[in-house]
Chains A and B, each alone.
Chain A
Amino acid sequence: MRRTMMVFASLLAMGGWAVATAAPTKPPAAVRSATPAPQVHVIVVDTMQYGPMPTGVRAGDIIEWVNRGLLEHTATARDGRFDIDLKPGATVRMKAMAGTVEVYCRFHPTMVATLVVK
C-alpha cells in the first residue's frame, strides 16, 4: 500500500516536471536579453596543474573540469563550497556560484588556482 502511494507520488512529481518543461512560458523580450544563457567554461587538469582559469564566468554558468592527466585529482574549494573528484579521463560539470574561491587538489597540495565567478 505504502509502495503504491510512493509510486503515485512519483508519477505526480514527474507529471508536474513534464508539464513545466513541455509548456514553458515565453518571457518578454526585455527579460530574455537580461538573462543570457549559461555558458560552459572548460578547465583542463593535466600534469599536476590546473589549466588557465576562465575569465568572465557568471553565476549560473557551467564549469566543466576535465582531467587529462595520468593521476587522480580533485577540484576542492578552500571554503568548502565544492569538492569534485577527478579520476584520470574524467569530465565533471558543476554550476558556478558567485564569489572568488581558491581551488586546490586534496591529493596534491602544490596544485592551486583561483576561480572568480561574478
Chain B
Amino acid sequence: MKKSLFALAIALAFGTVASVQAQPAPAAATAPATINDAQIAHIAYTAGAIDVTAAKQALKKSHNKAVLAFAEEMQRDHAAVNEQALALCKKLGVTPADNPTSQALAKAAAAEQVKLAALSGAAYDKAYAANEVAFHQTVNKALSGTLIPSARNEELKSLLETGLKLFESHQMHAEHLAQSLK
C-alpha cells in the first residue's frame, strides 16, 4: 500500500524523537539528551488531539455510516484518554511541554486537514480511512518504540501502555474500515 505524505510527515515528526534520543550525551552534561516526561505527555496529548480534530471533520463531511461510526469512536476515545492524561499531569504536577515533535505533528496534521477538506464522497471516506490506518500505525510504533521506553514516571508509562492497547484496537478497526471501502 502506498503510504500517504501525511503518514510520512507523521513518521518524520516522531523521527525527531528518535534522533534526539540517538544523540550521544555531551561529556560535560549531567543528564542524557532524551525527551522528558513533560514532553512525552505533550506529544501523546497532541497525537490524541489531532485524531479528535480529524474525527470532527469526518463527522461533518462523511455520509457513510461505517465512517461516521468510526469517527465517533475516535472522537470519544481519544478525548477520554487525553482527559486522563491531563488529570495525571495535574496529579503529578507536570506541565506538558511543547517540543519539536509536537510541533511537527501538528503542522503535518493541519496540512492533511486542508487536503482532506478538498475531497468529498467516497474519495474523502477512502482518504480519511487510509490516513487513520497510517496515523495509528505510526503513533503505535512511536509509543512502543520510543515514548513508553522513555517515560520515567511509572503512572505515565502505565497510561501510555494502556493507550497503546486501545490504539492498537483502533488501528485494527481502521484497517477493517479501509478494507471495506475499497
The interface residues of chain A lying within 8 Å CB-to-CB of B169 are 48, 108, 110-111
Binds A, one of B72-80, B131-139, B145-153: B72-80
Nearest chain A CB to B147 CB, angstrom units: 17
Beta-carbon contacts under 8 Å, A89-106 to B: none
A contact residues, range:
10 to 19
Q: Which residues of A contact B173 (CB under 8 A)?
A: 108-110
Residues 59-75 of B, flagged 1 when their CB comes within 8 A of A and 0 if not, give 00000000001001100
Within the complex, which residue of A70, A72, A109, A110 is in contact with B162, where a contact is CB–CB below 8 Å? A70
**Size bracket, chain B contacts:** 10 to 19
Q: Give the complex CA separation of A111 and B176 in angstroms.
A: 13
Asked if A47 meets B80 with Cβ closer than 8 Å, knowing A109-B173, A110-B172, the reply is no
The dominant DSSP class at the B interface is helix
What does the 1/0 interface line of B119-139 toward A look like (CB < 8 Å)? 000000000000000000000
Kindly report which residue of chain A lies nearest to residue B172, judged by CB atoms: A110
Closest to B165 in A: A47
Within the complex, what minimum Cβ distance (angstroms) separates B88 from chain A?
11
Give CA–CA (A70, B81) in the complex, Å: 7
For chain A residues 69-118, which have a beta carbon within 8 Å of chain B?
70-72, 88, 107-111
Is B84 an interface position by the 8 A CB rule?
Answer: yes
A109–B174 Cα distance when bound, in Å, is 11
Q: Is the CB of A71 within 8 A of B166?
A: yes
Q: Would you list 14 pairs from A and B whose C-beta atoms are within 8 A, ordered by A residue? A: A47-B165, A47-B166, A48-B166, A48-B168, A71-B76, A71-B80, A72-B76, A88-B80, A108-B73, A108-B173, A109-B69, A110-B169, A110-B176, A111-B169
Q: Give 10 new A-B contacts, CB below 8 A, not counting A70-B166, A110-B172.
A: A47-B162, A48-B166, A48-B169, A71-B166, A72-B76, A107-B76, A108-B173, A109-B176, A110-B173, A110-B176
